[in-house]
Every structure is written in C-alpha cells, then in structure tokens.
Amino acid sequence: MNKNKIWSLTLFLSLVLAGCSDQFLEDKRNFDSFDESIFTNETQTGWYIDRIYYDFFAGYNSPIKTLVGSYSDDKSRMTEEIGGTINNLINPGKTLETSADCPTYFGAQLVANPQNHPYTRIRNCNILIEKMDVVGASLPETFRNNAKGQMYFFRALQYFDLVRTYGGVPIVTEVLNASSTDESIKYPRATTSECIAQIIKDLDKAAELLPTEWVASSGYGRFNKAAALAMKSRVLLTHASPLFNTDWDNAGNQRWQLALEAGLAAEKELSAMGYGLYGNSAKDWQNMFLIDNKFCSEVIMVQMCSPATSTAINNGWEKSIRLSSQSGSGGIPAPKEMIDLFPLENGVRPTKSNGYDETNFYLNRDPRFYRTFAFSGCKWGHKTNANAVVWAYRYKKTDNKTIVYADGNQLKSPAFVRKMSNPVADDNSFEYSGTDIFEYRYAELLLNIAECYAAKGDIANCTAYLGKIRKRVGIASANNYGIGTLADKYAAIEACLYERRIELAYEGKRFWDIQRWMLYNDDASVNNNTCAKLGIKPINGTTRTGNHWQAIATGNTDPIASIRGTISIDPDASNFKDQLNALAKFYADNFTLVSPETAMDVDGKNPVNILWRQNYYVFGLHTTVLTNNSWLEQTTGWKDPFGTMGTYNFQK
C-alpha cells in the first residue's frame, strides 16, 4: 500500500467561489426554490459538498478555537493554558442563569435566506442524503457513497458539538419544510443518550461509505473511514465521562466498555491503514506539526490552510504567538501554572521533592517542554533570520522608577508559547501562514484508550498506553516512563488527564476535558465529586499567575543588550544541556523574577480568581430559541423566558 496516498481526514477549505459556482450559491439561497437537479452532475454535487466544508470550518484558523461553524477561542481562554481578561463564565462577579444569558450557538429561526447555523448545516446534510440516490441515481455508486459518507460525518460532527454545548437537542434526520402551523415538525429535545446513539449511527454509516484513502487528487483532504472510527472513540468517551454519566464511578459501566471497544477498533483499523505515532523523538514531535498537504501517520483530522492572501483560510496561530520583536501580535505568555505543569526529564512530576526549581524552571524538563514553550535566550527562527534569538525581560532606568520592556516584548511571563510554530515562517506576513492545523491526532486516540482502561480499573493497560505517548518523545522507560506505579483507578484517570494536558497543550482540547470531568468545582448538591475522587484541586478559586524577568542592573539604555549576544538555546543542539546550564548562570547573574504590577487575570484592572458555576457545564437554550419553539424544555439550572427554572435533564 502506498502510504503517500492514504489521506487523513482533512478539512477541505481551499474552495474558490467563482464562475458557475457563484450561480450555484445563488440557486441555493432559498430552500423552497432549491434546484435538486445539481445532484445529477458530479461537478455541481462537488460544489455543494465543498460549500458545506466551508460552512463548517471556515472559522477554524487557530488550534485553540472550538465549535464547528462558529469557532472562537473563548473556551481555551477559560482554562489554565491562557490568562488575561476574565471571561464572564469564570468571572466571580457574574451570575448567569437566565435564557438571555445562554449562548446563541443553537441558531435562529429558519428563513428564506438562512444563516450558517447548526440546523442549517444539518439540513444541508439531510438534503444530499435524501436526494443523492434518487435524483443522482445515474451517477456512479462509489461517487454517491462517498458523497453521502461525508454528509453522515458532517451531521454527526454537528450534533456532537450541539450535545457538548446543550446536552440533548431535537434530532432531525430528514428535510423539513419550514412552517409555523405544522404540528408534526415540533420535534422535542431528545435525551443526550438518544443524541449520542444517533451520532454513533451516523459515524458507523460514514465509516461504511467513506474510502480508506482518497486516490484522485480532487479527493485530497476529505473525510475518510479513519476519521469516522476515531470520532466514535471521542464521542463515546465523552458520553462515558461524569458530566453525562452518573454511573461513571462503576468500573463495569457499559459506557466505558463501549468507549474502549471503539478506541481499540479504531486503533486496529488505523494501524492497518498506516496510521500511528509519528517519529521517535521530541524533534520529530515538533516537526510533525509542519507536515503540510501530505500524509502524516499521526494526523486523523487536519485543517488545511494556505498562505494565499485571498480566497483562502490562513492559520492565524503563527501571528498570535510570535513576539512583538518578531513582528508578531505580542505572543501568548505561559501562566506559571502551565510552566510548572510539565514533567521533569525523567517523567516524574515537577515537585520540590523531585528536584524541581521554580526559578530555574527550564532545567531538566520533559522534552516536550522545550517544543511547547520558548523563553529569553531561546533560538526561535523565521524566514528572515533562521537563528533569531528572543528576549522578554524588563529593566528600570536610572531613576529607578521608569520600566522599559526589552525589544518591546511586554509579556507577563518568563516563558511563552511556541508550539506549532514554523521556524521558516515569513515574518513579513505571519498572518498569512499556510501551516495546517491538526484537529485530531493519533496520540489523542491512544489517550482515549488509556482513559477507558483507567476507568475500568485496568491500570496495567492504562500505564502501557501512557508509556507509548512518552516513549515516542524520548522519555526513558525507567519507573514506567516516570509515571510510577498508579495506586488505583482514580490515580490512573488523573494520570491520563495529566498526560492530555502535556501532549495536547494548546490544541483546543483542555476545556472539553475540564467540562466532561467537571474539574472547575465539586458540588455535593448535584453529586459532583470528581475533583475529590481524582485528587485534583478544583480550578475554582485559582488564578493564572504571571511573572517577569527583571534586570538587576539599571540604565537609561538596556543594560543586558551588550552581554546577551552569545546566548542561543537550541533543543536540537548537541550541547543543549550545557546551553541551559550556561543560561541558568546568566539569569542568576543578571535577572530576578518579579510579580507584575497588574495580575494576569483581571476584570477591568481588578485581579480576580476563577469562579465557574455548576449550571455552566451544560447551557440552556437562548430566549430566541425558546420563544420561537415554545414546546422545547429549558435545561436544568437555567431559567426560561418567564423566569421558571428549566426541567430538562441532560444526564439522561
């Protein structure tokens, strides 16, 4: 089998809407006058499918953005990964419980010129599924199957994000005519379990109809069987988790078994297709994220991006993480909670008793640490200067009052995010980066399997799967790759969640892990005790912490600039450890760590601690939805438009 032709699920967003495809879009605007004859033609059917890819994923231009169709980074900014202006949902000064406070993601009323909302996207999928074999009966069966397979996958993906947001929602699998009088289309909210069953049914159908590989060049970047199988693992893991599973603490609970079986089946099938962990070193791990427009064994779902300045999806991540001195947007400072998170070089947790020094945080760390973060003195190249070194510190002028930030890099952290950065990116146009974004990696699939084993009490297999993740980046095998001997299933689950924080950092996954395990808080009134069970400190009451390197010497010009020139920290260098030790001496001689004048987490200018309320884990329906669809129940914990508390139980 030629692995160069085994394409991963790639979100095909290179669509140029021009020529006759413009007419197609014009014809499609009004559902009542939609011309279904396009399904008699492969080219026009292709336009239809491409438009749906675009509607789903056009906003996915950063790895920390989530929710198909809308895509924002709000959820990632409510985790430990990124500090800053506090979101209303984690603001202790806000209490959200009315329908007007609920998100509008669910969408609005279907009209003649519909917006790109979830049920519009679902309807577009239903149209092709219904019409393809009827109107397009003369087209080749393989073409029709591939077209339908993509729609089943799309529909599953959309319902999954609706469920993660609202719990159960109305299940619509046929094309309905909009009507204000037809009682038969007043679909109620299905249970969460019913929605999950429909999602799995759609993914099974997608796996049946989609190819294992797209051979024709026109098929590059589309959904395939591997993606459908892997998505089953993600969906069933979510359904087994405490948010939706009140019986999660039962090792024999069927949901864990179903999730495990889905993960193992996906692993077996994907392995046969040529998928697996990419490389065998931290350098390979870093370079993996730069593989563009061609098969990578690690990549199951990926957003294709382009460096074109128009009619293309650009990757905005490069611009956002580059420092001001590099013509970037200023960078993403790493909170102390993330700096202190990564294991030590031998895989053990970074505690004082294990030898961790918070001041010299950069010494003897997990190899992934140096590929996830940069810090003052690090080599961080780009197109103009492959050997560029970045610095982010401050100094006081001789008046001992005026503070100046070296090189204009004003970050509230001695470390900053560099993961998924391209060392040859064009510093004159970072905003037009064409580096693809990985949405689902094989490593996540293995972590899903590990977590299922943990929840079932199979600690040996859990540890083995976690070991695979660590072995790939070069952590030594001693002491189970630093994981140690896990005492019980709770310690094993916590170890899985910990490893996900390291391996999948800044890939848009952390919020969903926090949500499905309810890690912001414990609340006895609703039987939420997962933090206590797992031995995890709740996020509520914490804050993302910032610090600065500040020069010991003062000066009206930078007192460090003339002596820093010999420093260049490069994890690819053969003498990397010597470089780090030299940096430690340089830091000790020239800098001190100081707290910023303003906290990293603020409401306006006031420092705040995170407070997430129990009802936020699953949202209610917005006022607009409930007033237009009066038969729909409001979610428990949220009020309807008349002030009555909701009755819909999302845990059924």
The string of DSSP codes covering 252-310 is: T-HHHHHHHHHHHHHHHHHHHHT-----SSHHHHHHHTT--SS--TTEEEEE-----SS
Mean pLDDT score across all residues of the chain: 92
- Number of structural domains (the chain) is 3
In this predicted structure, what is the pLDDT of residue 310? 81
For the cut 50, the answer to whether the pLDDT of residue 9 exceeds it is no
What integer is the mean pLDDT of 219-236?
91
Compute the distance between CA of residue 474 and CA of residue 345 in angstroms, rounded to an integer: 9
What integer is the mean pLDDT of 326-339?
98
What integer is the mean pLDDT of 174-199?
91
Position 469 in a domain: no
In this predicted structure, what is the pLDDT of residue 112? 58
CA torsion sign for 89, 92, 98, 101 is: negative
Position 276 in a domain: no
Query: Which of the two residues, 178 and 325, has the higher pLDDT score?
Result: 325
47 and 146 together in one domain: yes
CATH number at residue 174: 1.25.40
Strands 9-11 and 299-303: parallel
Position 282 in a domain: no
Strands 415-417 and 373-375: antiparallel
134 and 198 together in one domain: yes
Range of weakest confidence among 287-296, 441-450, 510-519, 578-587: 287-296
List the Cα angle 365/371/377 in 5-degree steps.
Answer: 80
What digits encode the pLDDT tens for the residues 112-136? 577 899 999 999 999 999 999 999 9
Position 269 in a domain: no
Range of the domain at 645: 620-652
Could you tell me what percent of the chain has a pLDDT over 90? Answer: 88
The backbone torsions φ and ψ at residue 604, rounded to the nearest 5 degrees and listed phi first, read 75, -110
Position 115 in a domain: yes
For the cut 70, the answer to whether the pLDDT of residue 29 exceeds it is no
Range of weakest confidence among 31-45, 373-387, 520-534, 636-650: 31-45
Compute the distance between CA of residue 158 and CA of residue 29 in angstroms, rounded to an integer: 21
164 and 31 together in one domain: yes
Would you call 645 helix, strand, or coil by DSSP?
Answer: strand
Report the C-alpha dihedral over residues 631, 635, 637, 640, rounded to 10 degrees: -30
The structure tokens 């669509």 sit at 15
What integer is the mean pLDDT of 569-580?
98
The structure tokens 């969460």 sit at 192
Q: Which residues contact 67 (CB under 8 A, 6 or more apart)?
A: 75, 105, 161, 165
335 and 401 together in one domain: yes
225-240 vs 192-209: helix axis angle to the nearest 10?
Answer: 160
In this predicted structure, what is the pLDDT of residue 312? 84
- What's the pLDDT band for 18 if we cut at 50, 70, 90? very low
54 and 120 together in one domain: yes
Residue 344 in tokens = 């030590």
- What's the pLDDT band for 217 if we cut at 50, 70, 90? low
Compute the distance between CA of residue 484 and CA of residue 550 in angstroms, rounded to an integer: 38
In this predicted structure, what is the pLDDT of residue 110? 61
142 and 52 together in one domain: yes
What integer is the mean pLDDT of 50-55?
95
Position 66 in a domain: no
350 and 410 together in one domain: yes
Range of weakest confidence among 13-27, 213-227, 411-425: 13-27
Compute the distance between CA of residue 519 and CA of residue 121 in angstroms, rounded to an integer: 32
What digits encode the pLDDT tens for the residues 595-647? 999 999 999 989 999 999 999 999 999 999 999 999 999 999 999 999 999 99
In this predicted structure, what is the pLDDT of residue 345? 98
In this predicted structure, what is the pLDDT of residue 216? 65
pTM, entire model: 0.94
Query: Which of the two residues, 580 and 4, has the higher pLDDT score?
Result: 580
In this predicted structure, what is the pLDDT of residue 177? 81
What integer is the mean pLDDT of 66-87?
96
For the cut 50, the answer to whether the pLDDT of residue 17 exceeds it is no
List the Cα angle 170/174/179 in 5-degree steps.
Answer: 75
- What's the pLDDT band for 182 if we cut at 50, 70, 90? confident
What integer is the mean pLDDT of 475-497?
98
Position 34 in a domain: yes
Could you tell me what percent of the chain has a pLDDT over 70? Answer: 93
333 and 419 together in one domain: yes
- What's the pLDDT band for 85 if we cut at 50, 70, 90? confident
Position 368 in a domain: yes
